[in-house]
Chain A
Amino acid sequence: MTTLDARPTIAAEAPDNYLTFRRGLLSWLFTLDHKRIGVMYLFAALASFFVGGVMALLVRTKLLFPGEVAWMTADQYNKAFTLHGAIMVFLVIIPSIPAALGNFVLPIMLGAKDVAFPRLNLFSFYLWMLGAICAVWSLIAGGFDTGWTFYTPYSSTSQAGGVIPVLVGVFILGFSSIFTGINFVVTIHKLRPPGMTWFRMPLFLWALYATAIIQVLATPVLGITVALLVIERAFNIGIFDPSMGGDPVLFQHFFWFYSHPAVYIMILPGMGIISEIISVHSHRHIFGFRFIAFSSIAIAIFSFLVWGHHMFTSGQSPLMNVLFSAITFSVAIPSAVKVFNWLATLYKGSISLNTPMLYGLSFIFLFTIGGLTGIPLAVLSTDIHLHDTYFVVAHFHYVMMGSALIAMIGGLHHWWPKMFGVMYSEFWGKIACALVFVGFNLTFFTQFMLGSQGMPRRYYAYDGTSAGIPGYVEGMAETFRIYHHISTGGSYIMALGFVITGIYLLHSLFAGRKAPANPWGGASLEWQCTSPPPHDNFSKTPRVGDCYDFSAVHWDEKQQGYVVDADAHASSATSGKGH
């Protein structure tokens, strides 16, 4: 009995795949193929990551010096950290896993030919590009220095010329996110092949589904919020202006009502990727499938109830503070339990330390720190001391960068052979992962101490200047300098790791070894088509099995890859009751 992946996968003899299906720039610009759209999103997000990363390096380099420096004014510094945050949040982290990896993988993993609304998908991509163009426009208009959080009244009165353009960009990017969310929800509901019940669906898809719910429900609030801020700036209607009866703290409520669920848009798909990576590279059925699946939905729901924990010192009433603090723990517990489930998946596994797995293990390490350090921030009396200090900066970098971004890079390495049909250098992959891991911890662990010792965030200088007199509050530089030096050193190491990653990934596109259909031994449907996949993913309806059952996965020496015995795989699933 033939299996889908018995066809040879050497490129010279390979049938047409989605990359070669039609050629030319226009065939990409007007493509309706979710895989091509995913690839375009990927390169766009990675380019934005590079720009946002340069901003971060500028900020970290300035912080080597406690006082004023000739080569960067306070105004430029404020614009640099603002731009770093805005680019990373709106152009990189929120879109990258759902829109880049998700777009590519979701239909194939589901067993469909494409998403439910391919034109909407392309439109989402063009909205992203339009949002990015608005960001560039905002730089030309003079930049913006409000912080990525745009708190009023500073953001409604700042003299910087780029505020309205970037807010317009954020509004447009919001729609990109909403439409992607709608697309994924409908695709998962309506395009599952026969046999793909909810409980046979891989956990990455559960994660994308939960993410899509948040994208659709929360992002409109961001749109309204930035629209109100644009109107406030342009027409001074006074919603956020106390002299006209408005309330500046109201902005914070509007903003965080979206932005807290947004952080779960960032992390949930990452957790989905980790479920895939840990399971595949341990060749072991995921532990606690149902719990992990339900916890994604629970996190999505609870994420809407905790936004006030960003506002404990804002002047919000003590009663609200107490409620938000209590509810925040409801989101923490499912996340913690996922970590235990992943550890249990490693138990009695057969673990191969490929680059994707190294990123997966890094995720567990870094997410544990990130999640645990959320606790002193959720606890009221300690948060009063830690809020708006570097402790918060460290916490959110551990969860947004050390977890979500690391998961994204891990997923990129996991699916790279599938996406481009080539293998990258394992040697350099491991080196780069180590550099990123070590560099990341040096950069951000020190910031926990910086924060608990009292260093506020968003500070250009830490020389104790007051009224133009440096050193008026003395000793600050002595207290904080060592941490800033280590942190900056770590950031350069991390940057080196990313640069190396970019180099070997790009190199693989030109000179990488051809990839087999299933280099890692996965059992979900995307591993049962060629690498790269054909234009329409599946020429025959795929046969659905238990995507975490590796009993029918075997190494094929000729292909130098794994092969799934589709009959055995499908039948083993139907004999069981699912998960």
Chain B
Amino acid sequence: MTVLNSITSFLAQTAADPAAAASTSAPVEPTSIKSTEFWMPAGASNFAAEVDWVFHFINWINVFFFVLVVAIMCYFVWKYRQKGREVYARGPNHNLPLELGWTILPTIIVVVIFFMGFKGYVSMRTPPADAYQIDVTAQQWSWQFKYPNGATSADLYVPAGKPVKLVMRSNDVLHSLYIPDFRVKQDVVPGRYTTLWFQADAATGEETYHRLFCTEYCGKDHSRMNQRVYVLGEVQFSDWVTKQGRWLEELAVKNPGDASILWKVGGPRLYGRCASCHTIDGAPGTGPSWGNYDGSGDVWDRIQAGAVHKVDGGKPIQDFIGPGKQYETPEAYLRASILNPGEHVVSNYGNVMPTFKGQLRDAEVDVLIDMMKNLKDKDGKPNFDAKGRFIGSMGPAPAGSE
């Protein structure tokens, strides 16, 4: 039971089904921070107070003018309603003071409002020189956040009370990073870097989080690039970033006798980034399933000698795999599929997979390959469920997976 608990809680850090976590005595699934106001979500950054102030100021001016216009309209429609058929009505056609007044007054108001927005905006575009930098890569359809020590994460973890600067780029099309609670947003563009910065003072811990969205339409799963933003206090953050940078190494070091832990526990965690296009159980997706989708077996079976898998419009994959051929071993082919996916495209699929070069370390690529080799155990039973969670036999209790 303890083994299951530790595995489950470890997996809960990545992308796990809330129901599974709740069914054991593992920690409760974290929740997102909810809005308590009618118009705006909870404000949680250094910009929120000012943006909200300007928004509400504009809102009240708008309410005032709207009520004024509608009330006058309704009153006039009632008071000057037509009586009888002879209807010529005399009224003023000009009134210079009135016309000047209702031109100049709104002009003054909008000039004031413009300056408020300008001031707030200048602050948004001027990150402090000592901001903590996190690199962001967006691609169809996932995010990756990379920390100064090389740690990577699908969710955004930030230190509380320090300015944070995101340096962002896209691997393919336009995306946009939006954290409503922080009131920040910036498009993420391929071929260049864009930046945004903020400072979040209130720590969320790991029990609650802010919501992060992609908000520039980017194709099929544009609405499925949602991530969490955790704000951690200084000590908790530095622990997290250290551990995150070494998660794979720690797993290996603490389980010296059992190398399979890497793909049993590490695999599902990495698989999360592949899941948006590759299913595990043979179900159709944007990319070929790792499981058996056409009767020729799972991804490892399909690239063995004697299999009938076709690429590039009909060439058998065996033309490329084997001693003396382009890929010496099936593992080499799988590695190339991850780092240079356009080289050979599986028949009946489009050339849409982005490269993961620079986003996965060699050790992480090895873990994914091992996972693909071990989709079934020696009796043919699946080792992973449809969501990529390990359901096979764990063997001895793993250490270091808390």
Cα of A249 to Cα of B70 in the assembled complex, Å = 41
In the complex, are the beta carbons of A343 and B76 less than 8 A apart? yes
Q: What are the residues of chain A within 8 A of B217 when measuring CB–CB?
A: 78, 147, 151, 154, 457-458
* From A322, A348, A379, A454, contact of B58 by CB (8 A): A379
Q: What are the residues of chain B within 8 A of A266 when measuring CB–CB?
A: none
In the complex, are the beta carbons of A329 and B114 less than 8 A apart? yes
Question: Which residues 448-506 of A sit at the B interface, judged by CB distance below 8 A?
Answer: 449, 452-454, 456-462, 464-469, 471-476, 478-479
Cα of A479 to Cα of B50 in the assembled complex, Å = 24
Question: Which residues 54-113 of A sit at the B interface, judged by CB distance below 8 A?
Answer: 74-75, 78
Q: What are the residues of chain B within 8 A of A153 when measuring CB–CB?
A: 172-174, 190
Cα of A336 to Cα of B62 in the assembled complex, Å = 12
Question: Which residues 168-199 of B sit at the A interface, judged by CB distance below 8 A?
Answer: 172-174, 176, 178, 180-181, 183-187, 189-192, 194
Question: Which residues 281-335 of A sit at the B interface, judged by CB distance below 8 A?
Answer: 282-289, 291, 313-315, 318, 321-322, 325-326, 329, 332-333
Given A159-B352, A315-B189, A322-B121, verify A466-B227 contact (CB < 8 Å).
Answer: yes
Q: Does residue A579 face the partner (Cβ distance < 8 Å to B)?
A: yes
Tell me the interface secondary structure of chain B in the complex. mixed
Given A382-B117, A384-B121, verify A351-B186 contact (CB < 8 Å).
Answer: no
Question: Which residues 90-142 of B sit at the A interface, judged by CB distance below 8 A?
Answer: 90-95, 98-99, 102-103, 106-107, 110-111, 113-114, 116-122, 124-125, 142
Q: Does residue A368 face the partner (Cβ distance < 8 Å to B)?
A: yes
Cα of A345 to Cα of B99 in the assembled complex, Å = 13
Given A349-B80, A381-B50, verify A388-B70 contact (CB < 8 Å).
Answer: no
In the complex, are the beta carbons of B191 and A353 less than 8 A apart? no
Q: Does residue A376 face the partner (Cβ distance < 8 Å to B)?
A: yes
Q: What are the residues of chain A within 8 A of B187 when measuring CB–CB?
A: 313-315
B74 smallest CB distance to A (angstroms): 9
Q: Does residue B51 face the partner (Cβ distance < 8 Å to A)?
A: yes
Given A344-B95, A365-B73, verify A454-B180 contact (CB < 8 Å).
Answer: yes
Cα of A157 to Cα of B89 in the assembled complex, Å = 61
Cα of A385 to Cα of B181 in the assembled complex, Å = 9
Counted as pairs of residues, one from A and one from B, with CB atoms less than 8 Å apart, the total is: 329
In the complex, are the beta carbons of A388 and B216 less than 8 A apart? yes
Q: What are the residues of chain A within 8 A of B192 when measuring CB–CB?
A: 242, 315
Question: Which residues 357-413 of A sit at the B interface, judged by CB distance below 8 A?
Answer: 361, 364-365, 368-369, 372-373, 375-376, 378-385, 387-389
Cα of A18 to Cα of B258 in the assembled complex, Å = 90
Classify chain B's interface size.
Answer: 35 or more
In the complex, are the beta carbons of B70 and A456 less than 8 A apart? no
Cα of A116 to Cα of B87 in the assembled complex, Å = 36
Cα of A248 to Cα of B171 in the assembled complex, Å = 13
* From A158, A347, A466, A474, contact of B29 by CB (8 A): A474
Cα of A389 to Cα of B185 in the assembled complex, Å = 11
Q: What are the residues of chain B within 8 A of A550 when measuring CB–CB?
A: 87-89
Cα of A74 to Cα of B222 in the assembled complex, Å = 9
Q: What are the residues of chain B within 8 A of A347 when measuring CB–CB?
A: 76, 80, 91-92
A516 smallest CB distance to B (angstroms): 13
Q: What are the residues of chain B within 8 A of A340 when measuring CB–CB?
A: 102
Q: Does residue A439 face the partner (Cβ distance < 8 Å to B)?
A: no
Q: Does residue B3 face the partner (Cβ distance < 8 Å to A)?
A: no
In the complex, are the beta carbons of B113 and A452 less than 8 A apart? no
In the complex, are the beta carbons of A154 and B218 less than 8 A apart? yes
* From A337, A348, A365, contact of B80 by CB (8 A): A348
Q: What are the residues of chain B within 8 A of A554 when measuring CB–CB?
A: 86
Closest to A288 in B: B99
Q: What are the residues of chain B within 8 A of A388 when measuring CB–CB?
A: 176, 178, 185, 215-216
Q: Does residue B228 face the partner (Cβ distance < 8 Å to A)?
A: yes
Cα of A344 to Cα of B69 in the assembled complex, Å = 11
Q: What are the residues of chain B within 8 A of A248 when measuring CB–CB?
A: 173-174, 189-191
Q: Does residue B225 face the partner (Cβ distance < 8 Å to A)?
A: yes
Cα of A555 to Cα of B87 in the assembled complex, Å = 9
Q: Does residue A571 face the partner (Cβ distance < 8 Å to B)?
A: no
Residue in A157, A322, A372 with the greatest tally of chain B CB atoms within 10 Å: A372
In the complex, are the beta carbons of A475 and B34 less than 8 A apart? yes
In the complex, are the beta carbons of A283 and B82 less than 8 A apart? yes
B207 smallest CB distance to A (angstroms): 12
* From B32, B55, B89, B154, contact of A283 by CB (8 A): B89
Cα of A314 to Cα of B168 in the assembled complex, Å = 12
Closest to A548 in B: B93
B83 smallest CB distance to A (angstroms): 7
A230 smallest CB distance to B (angstroms): 18
Question: Which residues 247-274 of B sit at the A interface, judged by CB distance below 8 A?
Answer: 272-273
* From B92, B116, B221, B350, contact of A381 by CB (8 A): B116
Q: What are the residues of chain B within 8 A of A158 when measuring CB–CB?
A: 219
Stretch of B36-44, B314-322, B325-333, B361-369 contacting A (4+ beta carbons < 8 Å): B36-44
Q: What are the residues of chain B within 8 A of A276 when measuring CB–CB?
A: none
Q: Does residue A243 face the partner (Cβ distance < 8 Å to B)?
A: yes
Q: Does residue B391 face the partner (Cβ distance < 8 Å to A)?
A: no
Given A454-B41, A454-B180, A474-B29, verify A381-B58 contact (CB < 8 Å).
Answer: no
* From A289, A381, A469, contact of B15 by CB (8 A): A469
Q: Does residue B397 face the partner (Cβ distance < 8 Å to A)?
A: no
Q: Does residue A551 face the partner (Cβ distance < 8 Å to B)?
A: yes
Closest to B169 in A: A242
Closest to A73 in B: B220
Q: Does residue A346 face the partner (Cβ distance < 8 Å to B)?
A: yes
Q: Does residue A547 face the partner (Cβ distance < 8 Å to B)?
A: no
In the complex, are the beta carbons of A372 and B66 less than 8 A apart? yes
Cα of A282 to Cα of B87 in the assembled complex, Å = 8
In the complex, are the beta carbons of B276 and A468 less than 8 A apart? yes
* From B16, B17, B65, B117, contact of A383 by CB (8 A): B117
In the complex, are the beta carbons of A326 and B114 less than 8 A apart? yes
In the complex, are the beta carbons of B154 and A467 less than 8 A apart? yes
Q: What are the residues of chain A within 8 A of B114 when measuring CB–CB?
A: 325-326, 329, 378-379
Given A379-B54, A473-B211, verify A285-B185 contact (CB < 8 Å).
Answer: no
In the complex, are the beta carbons of A287 and B92 less than 8 A apart? yes
Q: Does residue B4 face the partner (Cβ distance < 8 Å to A)?
A: no
Q: Does residue B347 face the partner (Cβ distance < 8 Å to A)?
A: no
Question: Which residues 230-251 of A sit at the B interface, judged by CB distance below 8 A?
Answer: 242-243, 247-249
A252 smallest CB distance to B (angstroms): 9
Interface readout for A540-579 with B: 1 if CB under 8 Å, 0 if not? Answer: 0000000000110111000000000000000000000001
Q: What are the residues of chain A within 8 A of B352 when measuring CB–CB?
A: 159
Cα of A396 to Cα of B176 in the assembled complex, Å = 21
Q: What are the residues of chain A within 8 A of B34 when measuring CB–CB?
A: 475, 478-479
In the complex, are the beta carbons of A351 and B77 less than 8 A apart? yes
Interface readout for A127-170 with B: 1 if CB under 8 Å, 0 if not? Answer: 00000000000000000010100011110011100000000000
B323 smallest CB distance to A (angstroms): 34
Q: What are the residues of chain B within 8 A of A379 when measuring CB–CB?
A: 54, 58, 113-114, 116-117
Cα of A285 to Cα of B95 in the assembled complex, Å = 13
Cα of A460 to Cα of B141 in the assembled complex, Å = 14
Closest to B172 in A: A153
Cα of A157 to Cα of B139 in the assembled complex, Å = 14
In the complex, are the beta carbons of B223 and A465 less than 8 A apart? yes
Q: What are the residues of chain A within 8 A of B119 when measuring CB–CB?
A: 381
B332 smallest CB distance to A (angstroms): 26
Closest to A82 in B: B217
In the complex, are the beta carbons of A372 and B65 less than 8 A apart? yes
Closest 10 pairs between A and B when the two form their complex, measured CB to CB: A242-B191, A454-B180, A381-B120, A379-B117, A348-B91, A380-B121, A459-B223, A555-B85, A456-B215, A346-B76
Q: What are 22 A-B contacts defined by CB distance under 8 Å?
A: A243-B191, A287-B93, A291-B99, A341-B99, A348-B92, A350-B89, A351-B81, A352-B81, A379-B114, A380-B118, A381-B51, A381-B117, A382-B54, A454-B41, A456-B223, A461-B224, A469-B272, A473-B226, A474-B32, A475-B31, A550-B88, A551-B88
Known: A464-B226, A468-B276. 20 other contacts (CB 8 A): A151-B216, A282-B89, A288-B94, A313-B185, A314-B187, A315-B192, A325-B114, A346-B76, A368-B66, A375-B62, A379-B116, A381-B47, A388-B215, A466-B226, A467-B224, A473-B32, A473-B209, A475-B34, A479-B34, A555-B87
